[in-house]
Amino acid sequence: MHKGKGMKFVGDSRISAERKPNIPKDYSEYPGRTEAFWPNFLLKEWLAGAVFLVGFLSLTLAHPSPLEGMADPTDAAYIPLPDWYFLFLYELLKYEFASGDFILLGMLVLPGLGFGALLLAPFLDNGPGRRPHQRPVAVGMMLLGLVSVIWLTYTSASHVDWESRAEANKPIPQAEVTIDTEHPGFASYENSCLACHGNELEGGAGPALVGMDLSAEEIADIAVNGIGSMPADQFTGTDEELEQLVDFIIAVNESAE
């Protein structure tokens, strides 16, 4: 047998032929951009990102975003409106070429083209120049997009009567109530009703129990037999406890007046 004869060498792409020492690349061939991506550039990016994130978090804590008034299922005239940054898409759907039979055009195709074009940005005008006039196609498309978004947003906003809208959406002021936790009926309320009607009878899964137009008998009946979407048998104590529970609810209602 001839040693070494007929032996095959197999290449493994995971092992590089030449061992490179672990020193940063020489960036002098890229004038003006002589910074290593890792870790110098990335660290700076992360730092800037962290500063913005903390800034935004502080801002949301200091100025929580305002909510509109409670949703009113009986108000059929209410027109839901997207937030301002989506108004342009909303406005687009009002045009004939983007609604009705062509709704897919307005919902998917046009916005899809617009956002899809963002993916093309790196491939348009990819010459070395970075000044706007050296990248006419990319800059032109960007300007066109920007102008359409601003114009659509402006047109949409000008159709809305903001004043009456703000008036209709004012949060309903919460009634000041006194909760007497020493009241003999409080324990029953806490055990059987609080989960749905709230700590201060302000409502939650069920409606508020302050400002109702119900008699003591009606409240007692609802507590036992339920009403509408409120299941029956929420209250299962003695008659005396039921009386105390109703008395508690009425006492809270009286404290609100």
Q: Which residues bind ligand HEC (CB under 6 A)?
A: 192-193, 195-197, 205-207, 209, 212, 214, 219, 222-223, 227-231, 234-235
Minimum Å distance from CB 239 to ligand HEC?
A: 14
Residue 83's alpha-carbon distances to 67, 87, 92, 169, 215, in angstroms, are 12, 6, 15, 14, 42
Q: Which is nearer to ligand HEC, 107 or 187 (CB)?
A: 187
- Nearer Cβ to ligand HEC (98/209): 209
Q: Under a CB-based contact definition with an 8 Å cutoff, are residues 182 and 208 in contact?
A: no
> 116 or 231, CB closer to ligand HEC?
231
**Cβ closest to ligand HEC, residue 146 vs residue 227:** 227
Provide the minimum distance between the beta carbon of 235 and ligand HEC in the complex, in angstroms, as a whole number: 4
Name the residue with the smallest CB distance to ligand HEC: 228
The number of CA neighbours under 13 Å toward the Cβ of 244 is 16
Residue 185, CA distances (Å) to 169, 191, 192 in order: 35, 10, 11
Is 127 within 8 Å of 134 (Cβ atoms)?
yes
CB of 76 to ligand HEC, least distance (A): 18
Please, which residue, 152 or 252, has the CB nearer to ligand HEC? 252
Minimum CB–partner distance for residue 229 and ligand HEC (Å): 4
Structure tokens at 208: 């508020």
Task: Please report how close the Cβ of residue 247 comes to ligand HEC at its closest, in angstroms.
Answer: 11
Single out the residue of 139, 87, 89 nearest to residue 111, CA to CA. Answer: 89
Burial (CB < 10 A; 0-12, 13-18, 19+), residue 246, is buried
252 neighbors 179 (Cβ within 8 angstroms):
yes
CB-wise, 184 or 207, nearer to ligand HEC?
A: 207
State in angstroms the smallest separation of the CB of 251 from ligand HEC.
13
